[in-house]
Amino acid sequence: MLTRTAALFLVLFVFAPFKVYPEVVQRTLPNGLQVLMAEDHKSPLAVFQIWYRVGSMDESFGKTGLSHVLEHMMFKGTKKYGSKEFSRTIQRYGGTDNAFTSMDSTVYFQILPSEHLDLSLKFESDRMANLLLREEDFQAERAVVMEERRLRLEDDPQSSLYEETEAAAFRVHPYHWPVIGWMPDLAHLKLEDLKQYYRTHYTPNNAFIVVVGDIDPDALFKEIEKYFGSIKPSPPPEDRISQEPPLDGERRVYLDREAELPYVVAAYHVPTLLDEDGYALDVLSTILGGGRSGRLYRSLIYEQKVALNVFADYGGLHRDPYLFTIGGTVAPGASDAALEKALYAEVERLKEEPVSDFELAKAKNQIEADFIMRQDSIFSQAMTIGRFHLLKDWRLKDRYVENIRAVTAEDVRRVARKYFDRDKRTVGILIPEARQAQEDGKGKEGR
Amino acid sequence: MKRGSGRVAFLVFLVVLGLSSPARADMLDVKRSVLANGLTVLHVERHTLPLVEVVLLVKSGVVQEPAEKAGLANLTAALLTEGTESRTATEISEQLAFIGAQLDVEASYDFTRASLSVLRKDVRRGFEILSDVLLHPTFPDEEVARKISLIGGSLQQSEEQPGFLVMRAFRSRVYGKNPYGRLVRGSRETLGDITRKDVRDFYSTWYRPDNAILVVVGDLDREELGKLVDTYLDGWQRAPLPPPVREPMPPEERKVVLIDRDLAQANIAVGHKAVRRIDPDYYALRVMNYVLGGGGFASRLMETIRDRMGLAYSVYSSLAAYKDDGHFVVQVQTKNSSAGTVIEEIVRQIEAMKDKGITGEELEEAKAYLIGSFPRRIDTMGKMARFLSLVEFYGLGLDYPDRYKELIGSVTLDDVRAAARKYLHPAEAVFVVVARQSEAKVSPEAIEKAP
């Protein structure tokens, strides 16, 4: 029983949806550098990101970790600006800067008062072309990266298991190795490797810029042109074609580690979001792993009490096809076998019964709300634009919600049947080793 | 039924709004009011996205729970969304998910905070569920048992995280029997002693409107908020609160804790008590901390231990400020064999700070960062709502965003040196090292002799 006003309102709402994301303005410099800009004036800030299309997937056997070590070296200065001068200057203006490397890209960013955006342009353009790579800096920074590896991987049993599982899932494709690299490879990298890698991949035609915030795109683009326009393009790096052959049977990896509870990861090979199955896989991951109303939480944690925490993740935003992973930490008193069995039961259920209208709508609402909520942060906005652009084209983000909305229950069942095959999965299991030092440790504690 | 009384309460809401002079902050137009039932309401209108962020802060947390029931505040918070008079745990999570809303309730030492993010079109539904879990939780026995076993399991899993081991030991030595010395989650032992009645009592004692702050930021005008508050929070009754108790702090003394684990890195924490959030020295300490180890790539500890020596990926110092005394701590991870060298360097840097303070250039850089980065602390609606809930909780005043520039800007070189001398004292610090001790070879004696 809608009143006339309410009905009118509803109609308006349907036909004039709130514009939730600012328009992206795209320009390209003659040297091939693409620039994506979006205005958002809610605070006097801007985020500047430069995305290089280079990540661990572009490395080669024996030289793993190169992309990430180079990312560290990018903070070590140029002829013009000394080591760390960039970060110090940005911070002096209230900003912050950092970088991250993934399998698919290396991204440098600053978040700062928009009136000081010229700092980003000045420094980023300089280090795109004029990085100093000095032996002494390299030696110290390699040691830092080794500490990072110890911190993130070696002393974190669940991350170690993930690394092992990924390595088993990919034998041919370079997703086989971890972004941070294998320790022996790190030890053997040479400064010359970095120099060559830098020359090959840090070129304007292998990068794109994303700026979101309190900006005027026309004026900003002129400035960008001034700073980046004179950098010469290079022949594009060779496109590496590497396809993981289909698995011909289940692969299993066990890792014995000093840990408290077993942990299970099951990984299935899936296409990227560009594939016609991508959006259905995205919806499926929310049906399984979407918070406390997700199926994995409901079944494994709440009802069966075999898990302490669970996850389902569709890695659809990679340059090459990656993995759909599900798993969790085994609850005290339960077994990894029980958790694994419960995981597969949920997967089988998806293949058998179509999801209900309510559950499908719920998953879509969650994805849509999350998508809108993320727009509140200029950094997340820039990440969304960048990730879609790395995949293919930032315009995909404007159709994202629409594409999610179009997924049917039958699509979900179809992709579950197509990809979640027992013979095509890789399973990793962390087996806790009894802690040798426990009693000693307790004895020594205190003084 | 509840709707009937709504209109009256709404009038009260408006009257109160009219009476309280709406303090205007420089960047934030915050409207503050206090309802008839004692609930403080802060409101900021933002129409940049069809989104509403709600924070409900209850001014009680770990500090208000008995030591033998450690974990009670956290358990109570976690159980709010696990069943009400009209909804089961599953219905609550399904209904929130259906509107794509996020509702998290989290206890901490001084307070408990519920945060709701909801799309504007579903704000009424969001408020209705929030008020239901806040006003009518039932704490069903089986949910209490389930939650206790999940929290117990997460505590067990934490035992495999070196960062957890180091900070648990650090807290317990710095704060002793003071509630700040415990974990928010409690321990597996104390959790086992908590009953449904304890939860119920904790809830009914502390979850009261006159002990709470509501912050709403987003796409909602004053009148709409008034109606929602009326309809959904009007039935919340005030009750007498127990008087505040200030738990004693232990004396400061040097303590060395070595925990042996099969690890590639030594995980180290060095520190001691510092100041309360409202201490006037807090701002000089913030500046000092920025230069010493809080300033990311610009800090002295990063410059020496990471950049020059290549001994760590992450090294930083931080100040935790609470209602009562907080703490200062340096945290770092380094390969086992470098543990001793890194501890020496940390102590050397702290001593140098006490001796010489900071330079004029460092002072300017630190101030410029601390002032210039302020807008980033409130650059989303969620961050703004959480920030305002703290401003109100600590009584910093709605003009705080204005005064902040002055508070940091007026810090002098002498203030920083005086604060460093008054508050830094490595001789009576707590040192915790979680490592493969046979390789780390950090002996308590060596630490005693550290400069």
- What are the chain B neighbours of A75 within 8 Å (beta carbons)? 297
Pairwise CA distance, residues A364 & A342, whole Å = 25
Q: What is the pLDDT of residue B165?
A: 98
**Phi and psi torsions of B431, nearest 5°:** -115, 120
Please give the helix or strand (H or E) that residue A447 lies within, else none. Answer: none
pLDDT digits (tens, 9 = 90+) for B331-362: 999 999 999 999 999 999 999 999 999 999 99
Q: Please state the rounded mean pLDDT for residues A219-232.
A: 98
Model confidence at B20: pLDDT above 60: no
- What are the chain A neighbours of B90 within 8 Å (beta carbons)? 293, 298, 302
Query: How would you classify residue B310: left for phi > 0, otherwise alpha for psi between -120 and 50, otherwise beta?
Result: left
Model confidence at A46: pLDDT above 90: yes
Residue B23 confidence class, pLDDT cut points 50, 70, 90 = very low
Q: Is the minimum CB–CB distance between A38 and chain B shorter than 8 Å?
A: no
pLDDT digits (tens, 9 = 90+) for A372-394: 999 999 999 999 999 999 999 99
pLDDT digits (tens, 9 = 90+) for B108-152: 999 999 999 999 999 999 999 999 999 999 999 999 999 999 999
pLDDT digits (tens, 9 = 90+) for B233-284: 989 999 999 998 888 999 999 999 999 999 999 999 999 999 999 999 999 9
Q: Please state the rounded mean pLDDT for residues A137-142.
A: 96
Q: What is the pLDDT of residue B245?
A: 85
Model confidence at B36: pLDDT above 90: yes
Q: What is the pLDDT of residue B75?
A: 98
Pairwise CA distance, residues B257 & B425, whole Å = 18
Interface pTM, i.e. ipTM: 0.90
Q: What is the pLDDT of residue A238?
A: 79
Q: What percent of chain B has pLDDT over 70?
A: 93
Model confidence at B401: pLDDT above 80: yes
Helices in A295-408 by DSSP H: which ranges? 295-296, 336-352, 357-374, 378-391, 396-405
Model confidence at B22: pLDDT above 60: no
Burial (CB < 10 A; 0-12, 13-18, 19+), residue A139, is exposed
Please give the helix or strand (H or E) that residue B245 lies within, else none. Answer: none
Nearest to B97 among A259, A291, A378 (CB): A291
CA distances from B267 to B165, B348, B365 (A): 9, 19, 30
pLDDT digits (tens, 9 = 90+) for B279-301: 999 999 999 999 999 999 899 99
The per-residue DSSP string of B275-308 comes to: -BTT-TTHHHHHHHHIIIIISGGGSHHIIIIIII
Q: What is the pLDDT of residue A440?
A: 41
Q: What is the pLDDT of residue A239?
A: 74
Residue type, A85: E
Q: Determine whether the interchain pair B310/A143 forms a contact, defined as Cβ–Cβ distance below 8 Å.
A: yes
Q: What percent of chain B has pLDDT over 90?
A: 89
**Phi and psi torsions of B27, nearest 5°:** -100, -15
> Per the structure block, which two tokens stand in for B338?
């470098």
Model confidence at A435: pLDDT above 90: no
Would you call B354 helix, strand, or coil by DSSP? helix
Nearest to B50 among A20, A87, A143 (CB): A20
Q: Determine whether the interchain pair B90/A154 forms a contact, defined as Cβ–Cβ distance below 8 Å.
A: no
Q: How close A264 comes to chain B (CA, Å)?
A: 14
Nearest to A441 among B260, B335, B373 (CB): B260
Q: Nearest to residue A238, comparing CAs of A211, A213, A206, A267?
A: A206
Q: Determine whether the interchain pair B263/A445 forms a contact, defined as Cβ–Cβ distance below 8 Å.
A: no
Burial (CB < 10 A; 0-12, 13-18, 19+), residue B441, is middle
> Per the structure block, which two tokens stand in for B336?
């086992």
Calculate helix-pair angle for B72-79, B196-206, nearest 10 degrees.
80
Model confidence at B10: pLDDT above 50: no
Q: Please state the rounded mean pLDDT for residues A114-134.
A: 97
Radius of gyration over alpha carbons of chain A, in Å?
Answer: 24
Chosen for mutation from B82, B124, B379 (greatest number of chain A CBs closer than 10 Å) is: B379
**B-proximal residues of A, 386-415, CB under 8 Å:** none
Q: Please state the rounded mean pLDDT for residues A199-217.
A: 97
User: What secondary structure letter does DSSP report for B180?
Assistant: G
CA distances from A374 to A404, A409, B133 (A): 16, 26, 25
Q: What is the pLDDT of residue B444?
A: 75
> Per the structure block, which two tokens stand in for B268?
């180290």
pLDDT digits (tens, 9 = 90+) for B159-169: 999 999 999 99
Model confidence at A442: pLDDT above 70: no
**Spatial CB neighbours of B268, under 8 Å, sequence gap ≥ 6:** B166, B330, B331, B332, B333, B334, B339, B342, B343, B346, B431, B432, B433, B434
Q: Please state the rounded mean pLDDT for residues A7-12.
A: 37
Mean pLDDT across chain B: 92
Claim: this prediction has a pTM higher than 0.90:
yes
Least confident of A11-20, A31-40, A188-197, A401-410: A11-20
C-alpha A446, offset from chain centre:
42
pLDDT digits (tens, 9 = 90+) for A160-177: 999 999 999 999 999 999
Q: Please state the rounded mean pLDDT for residues B416-427.
A: 97
User: Between vectors from CA A205 to CA A202 and to CA A210, what angle results, nearest 5°?
Assistant: 85
Q: What is the pLDDT of residue B205?
A: 98
- HEC profile of B90-143: HHHHHHHHHCCCEEEEEECCCCEEEEEEEEHHHHHHHHHHHHHHHHCECCCHHH
Pairwise CA distance, residues A436 & B447, whole Å = 26
CB neighbour burial string for A3-24, b if at least 16 within 10 angstroms, e if fewer: eeeeeeeeeeeeeeeeebbbeb
Strand partners, B40: B34, B213
Q: Determine whether the interchain pair B260/A139 forms a contact, defined as Cβ–Cβ distance below 8 Å.
A: no
Q: How close A66 comes to chain B (CA, Å)?
A: 17
Q: What is the pLDDT of residue A20?
A: 56
Model confidence at A411: pLDDT above 90: yes
pLDDT digits (tens, 9 = 90+) for B205-215: 999 999 999 99
Q: What percent of chain A has pLDDT over 70?
A: 92
- What are the chain B neighbours of A91 within 8 Å (beta carbons)? 295-298, 365, 368-369, 373
B395 and B300 Cβ atoms separated by less than 8 Å? no
Mean pLDDT across chain A: 92
Q: Determine whether the interchain pair A45/B255 forms a contact, defined as Cβ–Cβ distance below 8 Å.
A: no
Nearest to B310 among A140, A301, A365 (CB): A140
Q: What is the pLDDT of residue B6?
A: 35
Q: Determine whether the interchain pair B51/A441 forms a contact, defined as Cβ–Cβ distance below 8 Å.
A: no
Q: What is the pLDDT of residue A32?
A: 97
Residue of B nearest to A258 (CA): B262
Q: What is the pLDDT of residue A11?
A: 36
Q: What is the pLDDT of residue B313?
A: 96
User: Between vectors from CA B67 to CA B65 and to CA B71, what angle results, nearest 5°?
Assistant: 60
Q: What is the pLDDT of residue A13?
A: 38
Q: Determine whether the interchain pair B262/A437 forms a contact, defined as Cβ–Cβ distance below 8 Å.
A: yes
Model confidence at B232: pLDDT above 90: yes
Calculate helix-pair angle for A409-419, A278-289, nearest 10 degrees.
90
Model confidence at B302: pLDDT above 60: yes
Residue B27 confidence class, pLDDT cut points 50, 70, 90 = low
Q: Which residue has the tokens 């997937």?
A: A57
Q: Nearest to residue B379, comparing CAs of A51, A114, A100?
A: A114
Pairwise CA distance, residues B233 & B127, whole Å = 9
